[in-house]
C-alpha cells in the first residue's frame, strides 16, 4: 500500500471544506498524515477542522495569523512549506498538495497510485478538475501532461530532485518543468474526476484585472510573445472573451516594458519555450 502525506493550505473554506474532509476520510487508501494549514481564516474553517481532528489522529491542524488578505502563488507555497515542515512520517512515498474546495470518489488515490506503479517514470500526477454547472460536470481546460494545482501528487524521488515548490506565482508550472527537465513524466488523468466547487482563479474579482495579471505572470514565466498571442486568440472563444484576451496581452506588454524580473531561471525558460514550440507544431500538424 502506498504511503502518502497530504498538505492543504486553507483560507476561508467553510463552504466546501467538509466535502473535502469527507472525501479524504472515505478513501479506500487513506493518507498516513494530513496537515491542514489554516492561513488566518476569519470564518468557521478552524472549528470545522477541529471537529474532524478530534476523531482522526492522522489529521493535524496548524493555525497561522491572519495577514489580512489572500496571497496567491508565493503565499500558497509559503503556507504549504509550513505544513511540509511538520511531516512526522519519515518513510512517506508521495506528498500531495491539495486544496479544500474539492470532492472525489472513494478510490481516487488508489487509482492514482496504480498509475504511478504502472509507470516508474511518472513523477507528478493528478486527476482532472471538473466544475459542477447546471447539473453537469464540465472539465476545466488543461493539457494531458499538466497536473492540476488543486490536487497534485509528487513521487518522493521526483520531489527531492526538483527541490520542492518554487515560491513564485506559477509554482504549479515550475514544478512540472523542473520534473520534465530531470526526465520525469507528468500527467493529468482525465478519468479521475476532481469536482472543483470553486472556479480556478475566482478569488480574483473583475474581468480585466485577473487576465492583466495573468499576462504579466506569463511574461515573467518566460512565455514567448508569439505563443502568448496565439493563446489569446484561442481565449476569444472563452469568457470573458475580448476583455480577457486584451487583458492578457496588455499585462504581458506592460511587464515586458517594465522589464520585470523573470520567475524562472534561464534554462527553465528555454526548456518551456521549446515545449511550447513542439506543442504548436503538433497541434497544427507541422511536425
pLDDT tens digits for 12-36? 999 999 999 999 999 999 999 999 9
Where along the chain do its domains lie? 4-196, 208-283
- In tens, the pLDDT along 125-152 reads 999 999 999 999 999 989 999 999 999 9
Three-state secondary structure of the chain = CCCEEEEEEECCCCCCHHHHHHHHHCCCCCCCEEEEEEECCCCCHHHHHHHHHHHCCCEEEEEECCCCCCCCCHHHHHHHHHHHCCCCCCCCCEEEEECCCEECCCCHHHHHHHHHHHCCCEEEEEEEEEEEECCEEEECCCCCCCCCCCEEEEEHHHHHHHCCCCCCCCHHHHHHHHHHHCCCEEEEEEEEEEEECCCCCCCCCCCHHHHHHHHHHHHHHCCCHHHHHHHHHHHHHCCCHHHHHHHHHHHHHHHHHHCCCCCCCHHHHHHHHHHHHHHHHHHCCCC
Split at pLDDT 50, 70, 90, the class of 255 is very high
- In tens, the pLDDT along 78-112 reads 999 999 999 999 999 999 999 999 999 999 999 99
Superfamily name and number for 4-196: Spore Coat Polysaccharide Biosynthesis Protein SpsA; Chain A (3.90.550.10)
pLDDT at residue number 160: 98
Amino acid at each position: 500500500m502506498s504511503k502518502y502525506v497530504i498538505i492543504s493550505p486553507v483560507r476561508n473554506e467553510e463552504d466546501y471544506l467538509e466535502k473535502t474532509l469527507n472525501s479524504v476520510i472515505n478513501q479506500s487508501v487513506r493518507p498516513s498524515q494530513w496537515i491542514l494549514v489554516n492561513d488566518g481564516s476569519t470564518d468557521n474553517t478552524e472549528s470545522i477542522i477541529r471537529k474532524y481532528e478530534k476523531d482522526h489522529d492522522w489529521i493535524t491542524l496548524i493555525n497561522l495569523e491572519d495577514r489580512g488578505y489572500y496571497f496567491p502563488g508565493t503565499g500558497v507555497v509559503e503556507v504549504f512549506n509550513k505544513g511540509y515542515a511538520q511531516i512526522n512520517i519519515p518513510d512517506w512515498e508521495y506528498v500531495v498538495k491539495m486544496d479544500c474546495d474539492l470532492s472525489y470518489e472513494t478510490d481516487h488515490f488508489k487509482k492514482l497510485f496504480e498509475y504511478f506503479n504502472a509507470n516508474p517514470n511518472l513523477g507528478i500526477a493528478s486527476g482532472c478538475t471538473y466544475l459542477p454547472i447546471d447539473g453537469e460536470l464540465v472539465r476545466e481546460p488543461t493539457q494531458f501532461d499538466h497536473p492540476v494545482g488543486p490536487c497534485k501528487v509528487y513521487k518522493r524521488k521526483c520531489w527531492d530532485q526538483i527541490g520542492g515548490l518554487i515560491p513564485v506565482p506559477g509554482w504549479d508550472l515550475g514544478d512540472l518543468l523542473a520534473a520534465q527537465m530531470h526526465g520525469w513524466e507528468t500527467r493529468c488523468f482525465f478519468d479521475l474526476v476532481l469536482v472543483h466547487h470553486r472556479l480556478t482563479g475566482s478569488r480574483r474579482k473583475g474581468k480585466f484585472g485577473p487576465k492583466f495579471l495573468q499576462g504579466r505572470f506569463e511574461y515573467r514565466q518566460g512565455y514567448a510573445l508569439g505563443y502568448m498571442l496565439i493563446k489569446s486568440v484561442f481565449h476569444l472563444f472563452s469568457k470573458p472573451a475580448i476583455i480577457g484576451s486584451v487583458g492578457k496581452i496588455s499585462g504581458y506588454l506592460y511587464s515586458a516594458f517594465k522589464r520585470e524580473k523573470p520567475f524562472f531561471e534561464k534554462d527553465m525558460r528555454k526548456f518551456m519555450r521549446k515545449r511550447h514550440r513542439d506543442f504548436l507544431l503538433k497541434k497544427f500538424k507541422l511536425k
